[in-house]
Structure 1
Amino acid sequence: MSKQHVLQAIAEYDERGREEFLQLYGFAPTHEYTLVHDERSYDARALLGLAHRFATGRLASSDEFDSGPQAAVAILRKRGFEVSEPAGATPVAPVRAARAPRAPKAPRTPSVRTPATRPTAVREAPVAICPTCSMVLPATGRCDTCD
């Protein structure tokens, strides 16, 4: 899901209004975490759920975010959005994908090149042609038409 998907969700939220938006997509109103965009406040989890739909074709429910609203906040912040937190909440940092440790590279050993062997082309013998009628001669070497 990209920042553009979230902006699409914001546009629909603005068009429908908060109550209709939340009712249409089945999200409960919440005042905990709000996304602030262009000096307007939005329900962060509801916007993220619809943005998920724009990205995948499937609406994400409010309880689908792995570790509660903090996961939604981290995703939105990673995409450059400002999200306000309720009083007394632990600040949520953007989520960074953990990278698997790389296995050490094996030392390179010089490879011994062997000359490439190409298949030898088999040349076909030229076809014998009858000098009189220009027909291909059979294996006997005598023209069936002229003899």
Structure 2
Amino acid sequence: MATFSAVTRQHLLQAIAEYDARGADDFRGVYGFAASTAYPLVHEGREYDSLAVLGVAHRYATGRLATADEFGDGPAALAALLRRRGFEVNEPAGVAVAAPARTPRAPRAPRAPRQTAAPTRRAAAPEREAAICPTCSTALPATGVCDYCG
């Protein structure tokens, strides 16, 4: 079963753009999806086959097409996923949409202010003087051997 956590709104918009460019029948035919009228995705006033669009969006996100067999949670779960990505999904006739249950939260107790210690400053370490070659008066590298004199 495919996971759709990698599918973002942008991937879905790419799939919708391809759906528009190819047309519904060609889009489904190219990717091997049967026509589905359950839970149509609505974008800018047009309806799209939500299973086909989500399967192709999975391809944009992961590089692998999600086939119809991999939608194990059912079309209602996929409709919920599309809603979480900011899309409108129409319900099939005779299906009531339950409002999300919200549980009231208890008020939080105020927190005590944090005690912060005063920042401590370290004294700056004095700079080391560069070693100088006694022959040519050039600064010596870290090896201590002059590059010019050897």
TM range (shorter): 0.5 to 0.7
* AA matched with 2:13: L
Q: Name the TM-score, length of structure 1 as normaliser.
A: 0.60
Per the normalisation by structure 2, the TM-score is 0.59
How far 1:53 moved relative to its partner? 0.4
User: For residue 37 of structure 2, what is the aligned residue in structure 1?
Assistant: 31
1:42 aligns with 2:41: no
* 1:87-144: CA deviation from partner (whole Å, max 9, x where unpaired): 11243778xxxxxxxxxxxxxxxxxxxxxxxxxxxxxxxxxxxxxxxxxxxxxxxxxx
Q: Within 5 Å, which residues of 2 pair with 1:53-132?
A: 53-91=59-97
Structure 2 residue matching 1:41: 3-state secondary structure: strand
| SS of equivalent residue, structure 1 residue 63 | helix
One-letter amino acid of the counterpart of residue 97, structure 2: P
Judge conservation of contact 1:34–1:42 (CA < 8 Å) in 2.
yes
- Distance in structure 2 (CA, Å) of the matches to 1:83 and 1:56: 23
Rate the CA distance shift 1:93–1:29 in 2: closer, same or farther, 3 A.
Answer: farther
Gaps of 5+ in 1: 95-147
Q: CA deviation at 1:3?
A: 0.2
| Long gaps (5+) in structure 2 | 1-6, 101-150
Instruction: Please identify the structure whose Cα radius of gyration is greater.
Output: 1
Q: Identity across aligned pairs (percent)?
A: 60
After superposition, the CA RMSD in angstroms is 1.6
Q: Count residues with an aligned counterpart.
A: 94
Higher relative contact order at CA 8 Å, sep ≥6: structure 1 or structure 2?
2
